[in-house]
Every structure is written in structure tokens, then in C-alpha cells.
């Protein structure tokens, strides 16, 4: 069903039911005018449809001008109903006299049987005390009216992006959440625009691309962007149009983000997520689905992927994976600001969640990154007592959207502690897959070292002796780390490299007779500095191995899939209930087997503490 048809049907149903106040929850102010010009709603504010069109006259009828007994105001009703007892002031603020002998709200209070009804519409409605009293009075008049009184055919229509109503009148208001334009409507807008401009309609692939990227925009905004595209390209059917249209739409979406305050654009950084090839490969295979989402749905009944939940040990690349996902899919990365959702005013947090969802769909295709999602929805279980159920309602709205969404908005959620997430969040249907990141193996540590030292796209490779990048060089360093019990995450490695570079810099600057070499970081001085930095570091595997083990057991219980092809522990064989892990199956290399040994020892300690009966087994 088309957007306007849906709104008209909802309005007609509410009017037939005698509901005096209609509330359009949308930021499209032009939709209100289209609604009031609709022929299908004329019977509700004219004596009958034919009589209504006679009042308009043939010229006005063709121009779809609304009847004189329909008035539109901006912001609030304060200026219109300043004083219902002061007819002079009321007349001053009245656009037109609706019925001879009556002005302003007095007609609503003293209307007679069979009189011409009155409709008052407010664009971009803002609640204030005066308007609240007006709405309350209208409801009161409706409740006390006799059958046949014209007051029963008087309505107020409000429009704003967020519903804001005075307390007590909610039962007498019909809130109509206006849906976004569907793909068919968007395609029609594009083709109609091309026809008006005497242009050829875009070829099928371009039409699908433009339709997909115009999702979430209102009709007027789509036409504005089409004009920009036409002015820049001179046509709507050339092969160059797609790139230009994507750029123009992207810029418009950035404007939407800046104005919203709920989401923010995340620029892709220079760091790369080394290793983790299994999740990268999973995402790469779904890129085709994102680029051809409309074709996939139309020809294959294939929905765009919903998203992934990534959990694991802190510092193991979850945030970098969000950027990598956006880079692979070739779509923007949008970060959710959960703090901006919360409001001290009743109902606004839930409204903010609905606005955020609507905005995320408008910005699709995109990657929606929710960092540390367990903190975002912390307190869901105790929400009823702590905040009157606000967090629970927001959480429920978000879960429903995750389940039902059709827009190509790929959710990338990260969590350090999935134990605090409600069980319904982890079941299949919310996410397409659940991945975990664990302590990197020796091979992955080598890859991380090379990535950090060389920089993105090899920008800093020229500063280092080529010996630094060889397997033998890094293997010696990692064996040293294993012997010292310095088991590292990606974040630990980044810190160690940074510290080592600084040590080399200080040592070089302290020698007045330093001889300039080919590279800033020669192999042996840099290795010495790396080992010194390792000894000074307090790595995560050294200080928080108990948390590493608890994470392993929990993710094994929840059946998470590894992000890497190789792991020190095969999570599919972890018995979380008995707190048992499978034997080490890798090749001893001076790091991985020592990391496994440390995990095993920590597991036995935790097992002994929790289950004393196992101490002597």
C-alpha cells in the first residue's frame, strides 16, 4: 500500500470512530498538505463529497485546493486560540471565517446541528500550555456533544517527527506512524521525474541502485536530489549517473546524521584488522547481496543479511572489524550513540529509539555499529523497578526491528560480556551469525606485528629494516613473550610496538655522535627495544587470564563461531558445563602451547574454586 493511501485509510478509520485528534508521526510536512487535498477525505469535513467539490469550484477542484473550512498553522495553536472569549483577537488570528457569525474556537463550542465542520491542521507541532488547554477543551466538547452536533465532525490534525501530547488526552488521539516510501513508490517518483524533465528513465540496474539508496527519504527530498543529479550529469540515464548519485545521496545522509544527534558517521581509520579471516570471508560472500538487494528480493526472495554479534576478549580487534566490515561491503559505517537515547522526560527515550530506527533505515545501505551493546541495554531485567520500564520498552522495540527489518542495514554489534545480555538477544533471527574473537595465535601475532609496523597500505614500511618483517625475527620475539608469560592481544601488541619505537627514538637522540643509517629502526636495536617493552608491559593474558577462560566457557556454551580459522582452543569441543577444554592439537612453537598451558592451569584453578569436589580428581 502506498504511503498516502495508508495514511488516508488510517485517518478515515479514526474519523469514523469519532476520534477528534489525529497525530501524524513524520517529519514530512508536505504530507499534511497532500492529506488535506485528498478527495477521499472531503466527506469528513464537507457536508458530502459532491457538495464539497461544488464549494471548491471547477478551477480550485482541478488545482486540488483544500476547502475554506480547513486551516493550516505552523508550530502550535497558541496564536489561533489566544482567547476564545475575545472574538476580535480570535478573528485577527483566523485565516478565514468558517461559518458566518462564528469565529475561532467559539464555533467548536457552539456549533449547531448540520453546520459546516471545521478542520484545523498544525505543521511541525510543538506542545505548549495554551495548545494543551485547547486540545483538552476539544476533547471535552466531543464528549459532551449530542448526536448530530457539528462538533462531532470537527478535527485537529497534528504533524511532527516525535509524538508529544498533554497527559490525559491520549485515549482520544489516533497516532499514525507514517511509513517510509516503499521501493515501488520511489521507483515511480524517479520515473515520473524523468518524464517531467523529458529524460529517458534510468536503465534497470541504475534504477535499482537509486531506489535502494533513496530509501528513507521523503518525496520532496528525493526530487531535490534528482534535480542535483540532473544538473551535474545533464541526464538520468548515462552510466556516469550512478557514481554521481551515490556521492550526492551520501552527502545528504551525512547532513541527516549531523542533524539527528542519535547517530554519527564513523570515518574508516588507517588500522587494519589483521587475521580474523573467517569472519572477513563470511562478510565478503554477502557483499553481492548488499549490492543487489532489490534484485535479490525480487528474483530470489532473498532478504539482505541482518548482521552479526561479535564478542570475545577485550582488545582482540572487534572495533576494527566494524570498520573492516564497512570497507568490505563498500557502505558507510554509522555508530549508534546509546547515551543520546536516554531522556528524563516520560516517553521520550522510547520515541528516540523509534527515531533512531527510522533514521538507520533511511541511511541504508549502511553498517550500524553498536559498540559494547551489553552496556547499551544494561539493566533490562530490572528496568521495571529502576526506570519504570523505559529500558525494557526501548529494548523490545529494538529487538522487534532487528527481527523484522527489511532494509539493508547491517548491524555490527560488539560485546565484551555476553553474560549480561538477555537470552532473547542471542537467539537465531536477531543476527545471522555470532562470532567470537580470542587470544591470537603465534601466526596471528606475527600478522598483527607486521600490520602495525608497516602501517596501512605499507605507509611506514620504509622506516624499518626489512629483517624486522621476517618470520624468524618475529618468531624469536614471540617465543621470548611465551617464555615470560606475556600473552598478548592486538591492543597489547600495538602498545608494545609504540613503546619500542619510542625507546629507539630516545636512544638515538641521546647519542650526539649517532651515525645516520638507512632505516630509522634497524633490526637489532629495535628487537632489543621490543623485548624491553614486552618486559615492562602488563599484557591482558598476564593479568586477566581468568577473564579469558570465563569468556571461552561462556562463548562455547552460547555456540559462538570463531572469527579465525585457527585457535589455541577448539571452542566447538569446549564443555562449558563441566568446565573442560579439549587437548592442545597444534604444533608446539614456543608460544601457542604455552598459552594453552596457561589457559588450562587457570581453568583448573577456577574449577577448583567453584567446585571443590573436583580438587582431588
Q: Point out the least confidently predicted range of 14-18, 377-381, 471-475.
A: 377-381
Question: Are the CB atoms for 286 and 305 separated by under 8 Å?
Answer: yes
The candidate with the shortest Cα–Cα distance to 291, out of 192, 226, 212, 357, is: 212
Q: What is the pLDDT of residue 92?
A: 26
Tens of pLDDT, residues 546-568? 999 999 998 888 889 999 988 89
pLDDT class of 127 with cuts at 50, 70, 90: confident
pLDDT class of 141 with cuts at 50, 70, 90: confident
Across the range 51-62, mean pLDDT stands at: 45
Q: What is the mean pLDDT of the chain?
A: 79
In whole angstroms, what is the distance from residue 362 CA to residue 212 CA?
10
Question: Are the CB atoms for 240 and 233 separated by under 8 Å?
Answer: yes
The residue among 42 and 180 whose pLDDT is bigger is 180
Query: Is residue 512 over pLDDT 70?
Result: no
Tens of pLDDT, residues 232-243? 888 888 888 888
Provide the 10 A C-beta neighbour count for residue 30. Answer: 14
The residue among 410 and 422 whose pLDDT is bigger is 410
Q: What is the pLDDT of residue 384?
A: 47
Q: What is the pLDDT of residue 358?
A: 79
Query: Is residue 379 over pLDDT 50?
Result: yes
230 burial via Cβ count (<10 Å: 0-12, 13-18, 19+): middle
DSSP 8-state assignment for residue 82: S
Domain 277-437 belongs to what architecture?
A: 3-Layer(aba) Sandwich (3.40)
Question: Are the CB atoms for 197 and 235 separated by under 8 Å?
Answer: no
Q: What is the pLDDT of residue 382?
A: 52
pLDDT class of 330 with cuts at 50, 70, 90: confident
pLDDT class of 342 with cuts at 50, 70, 90: low
Query: Is residue 93 over pLDDT 50?
Result: no
The residue among 161 and 534 whose pLDDT is bigger is 534
Q: What is the pLDDT of residue 115?
A: 42
Across the range 428-456, mean pLDDT stands at: 89
What is the residue extent of each domain of the chain?
Answer: 3-177, 183-260, 277-437, 441-617
- What's the full length of the chain, in residues? 617
For the ranges 40-49, 76-85, 97-106, 552-561, the one whose mean pLDDT is highest: 552-561
Sign of CA dihedral 439, 266, 233, 203: positive
Cell of 526: 629495535
Q: What is the pLDDT of residue 95?
A: 31
Q: Which residue has the cell 569472519?
A: 279
The residue among 545 and 26 whose pLDDT is bigger is 545
The residue among 73 and 444 whose pLDDT is bigger is 444
In whole angstroms, what is the distance from residue 581 CA to residue 37 CA?
70
Query: Is residue 89 over pLDDT 70?
Result: no
What is the CATH code for 3-177? 3.40.50
Q: Point out the least confidently predicted range of 167-181, 253-267, 544-558.
A: 253-267
Across the range 146-174, mean pLDDT stands at: 81
For the ranges 136-145, 393-402, 551-560, the one whose mean pLDDT is highest: 551-560
Across the range 443-453, mean pLDDT stands at: 92
The candidate with the shortest Cα–Cα distance to 497, out of 532, 473, 542, 462, is: 532
Cell of 226: 534528482
For the ranges 110-119, 162-171, 366-375, the one whose mean pLDDT is highest: 366-375
Query: Is residue 517 over pLDDT 90?
Result: no
The candidate with the shortest Cα–Cα distance to 36, out of 26, 46, 48, is: 46
Identical fold, 3-177 and 277-437: yes
Q: What is the pLDDT of residue 556?
A: 87
Looking at 234-362, list the stretches that DSSP marks H as alpha helix, in order from N- to C-terminal side.
241-260, 277-285, 287-291, 293-300, 318-329, 348-362
Across the range 416-435, mean pLDDT stands at: 82
Query: Is residue 106 over pLDDT 50?
Result: no
pLDDT class of 450 with cuts at 50, 70, 90: very high
Across the range 488-515, mean pLDDT stands at: 86
Q: Point out the least confidently predicted range of 100-114, 311-325, 491-505, 531-545.
A: 100-114
Q: What is the pLDDT of residue 559?
A: 86
In whole angstroms, what is the distance from residue 485 CA to residue 543 CA?
10
Whole-structure pTM value: 0.72
Contact residues for 203 (Cβ-Cβ < 8 A; gap 6+) = 237
Q: What is the pLDDT of residue 539?
A: 94
Backbone angles phi, psi at 368, to 5 degrees: -100, 110
Q: If you compute the radius of gyration of the chain from its CA atoms, what whole number of angstroms results?
A: 32
589-593, long-range: CB within 8 Å, 24+ apart, which pairs? 589/442, 589/475, 589/479, 590/442, 590/475, 590/478, 590/479, 590/482, 590/483, 591/441, 591/442, 591/445, 591/478, 591/479, 591/481, 591/482, 591/487, 592/441, 592/442, 592/568
CA-based end-to-end distance of the chain: 67
Cell of 390: 523505559
Query: Is residue 58 over pLDDT 80?
Result: no
Amino acid at each position: 500500500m502506498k504511503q498516502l493511501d495508508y495514511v488516508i485509510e488510517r485517518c478515515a478509520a479514526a474519523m469514523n470512530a469519532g476520534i477528534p485528534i489525529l497525530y501524524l508521526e513524520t517529519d514530512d510536512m508536505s504530507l499534511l498538505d497532500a492529506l488535506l487535498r485528498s478527495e477521499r477525505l472531503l466527506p469528513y469535513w464537507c457536508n458530502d463529497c459532491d457538495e464539497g467539490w461544488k464549494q471548491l469550484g471547477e478551477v480550485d477542484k482541478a488545482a486540488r485546493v483544500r476547502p475554506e473550512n480547513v486551516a493550516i498553522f505552523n508550530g502550535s495553536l497558541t496564536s489561533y486560540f489566544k482567547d476564545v472569549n475575545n472574538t476580535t483577537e480570535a478573528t485577527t488570528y483566523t485565516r478565514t471565517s468558517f461559518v458566518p457569525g462564528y469565529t475561532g474556537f467559539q464555533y467548536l463550542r457552539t456549533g449547531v446541528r448540520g453546520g459546516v465542520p471545521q478542520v484545523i491542521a498544525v505543521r511541525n507541532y510543538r506542545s505548549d500550555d495554551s495548545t494543551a488547554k485547547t486540545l483538552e477543551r476539544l476533547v471535552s466538547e466531543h464528549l459532551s456533544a449530542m448526536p448530530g452536533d457539528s462538533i462531532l465532525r470537527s478535527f485537529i490534525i497534528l504533524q511532527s517527527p516525535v509524538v508529544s501530547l498533554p497527559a490525559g488526552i491520549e485515549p482520544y488521539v489516533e497516532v499514525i506512524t507514517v511509513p517510509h516510501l516503499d521501493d515501488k513508490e520511489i521507483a515511480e517518483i524517479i520515473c515520473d521525474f524523468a518524464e517531467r524533465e523529458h529524460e529517458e528513465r534510468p536503465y534497470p540496474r541504475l534504477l535499482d541502485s537509486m531506489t535502494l539508496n533513496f530509501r528513507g527519504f521523503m518525496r520532496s527530498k528525493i526530487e531535490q536530489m534528482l534535480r542535483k543529479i540532473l544538473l551535474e550529469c545533464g541526464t538520468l540515464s548515462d552510466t556516469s549517473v550512478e557514481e554521481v548519485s551515490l556521492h550526492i545521496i551520501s552527502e545528504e545522509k551525512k547532513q541527516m546524521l549531523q542533524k539527528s544527534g542519535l547517530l554519527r558517521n564513523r570515518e574508516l581509520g588507517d588500522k587494519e584488522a589483521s587475521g580474523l579471516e573467517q569472519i572477513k570471508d563470511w562478510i565478503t560472500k554477502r557483499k553481492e547481496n548488499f549490492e543487489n538487494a532489490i534484485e535479490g528480493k525480487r528474483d530470489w526472495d532473498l532478504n539482505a543479511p541482518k548482521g552479526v554479534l561479535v564478542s570475545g576478549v577485550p582488545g582482540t580487534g572487534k572495533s576494527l572489524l566494524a570498520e573492516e566490515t564497512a570497507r568490505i561491503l563498500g557502505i558507510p559505517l554509522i555508530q549508534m550513540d546509546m547515551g543520546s537515547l536516554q531522556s528524563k522526560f516520560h516517553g521520550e527515550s522510547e520515541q528516540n529509539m523509534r527515531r533512531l530506527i527510522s533514521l538507520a533505515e533511511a541511511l541504508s545501505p549502511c553498517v550500524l555499529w553498536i559498540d559494547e551493546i551489553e552496556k547499551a541495554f544494561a539493566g533490562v531485567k530490572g528496568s521495571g523497578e529502576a526506570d519504570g520500564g523505559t529500558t525494557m520498552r526501548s529494548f523490545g522495540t529494538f529487538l522487534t526491528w532487528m527481527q523484522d527489518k527489511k532494509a539493508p542495514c547491517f548491524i555490527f554489534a560488539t560485546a565484551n560480556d555476553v553474560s549480561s545480555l538477555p537470552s532473547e538477544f542471542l537467539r537465531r533471527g536477531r543476527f545471522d551469525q555470532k562470532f567470537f574473537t580470542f587470544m591470537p595465535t603465534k601466526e596471528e601475532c606475527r600478522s598483527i606485528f607486521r600490520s602495525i609496523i608497516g602501517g596501512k597500505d605499507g605507509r611506514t614500511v620504509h622506516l624499518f629494516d626489512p629483517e624486522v618483517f621476517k618470520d624468524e625475527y618475529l618468531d624469536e620475539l614471540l617465543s621470548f613473550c611465551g617464555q615470560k608469560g606475556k600473552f598478548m592481544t592486538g591492543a597489547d601488541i600495538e602498545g608494545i610496538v609504540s613503546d619500542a619505537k619510542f625507546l629507539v627514538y630516545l636512544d638515538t637522540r641521546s647519542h650526539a655522535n649517532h651515525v645516520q643509517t638507512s632505516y630509522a629502526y634497524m633490526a637489532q636495536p629495535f628487537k632489543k627495544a621490543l623485548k624491553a617493552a614486552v618486559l615492562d608491559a602488563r599484557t591482558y593474558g598476564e593479568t586477566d587470564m581468568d577473564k579469558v577462560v570465563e569468556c571461552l566457557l561462556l562463548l562455547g556454551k552460547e555456540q559462538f563461531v570463531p572469527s579465525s580459522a585457527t585457535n589455541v582452543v577448539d571452542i566447538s569441543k569446549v564443555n562449558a558445563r563441566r568446565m573442560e577444554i579439549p587437548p592442545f592439537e597444534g604444533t608446539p612453537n614456543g608460544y601457542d602451547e604455552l598459552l594453552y598451558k596457561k589457559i588450562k592451569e587457570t581453568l583448573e584453578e577456577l574449577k577448583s574454586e567453584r567446585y571443590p569436589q573436583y580438587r582431588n580428581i
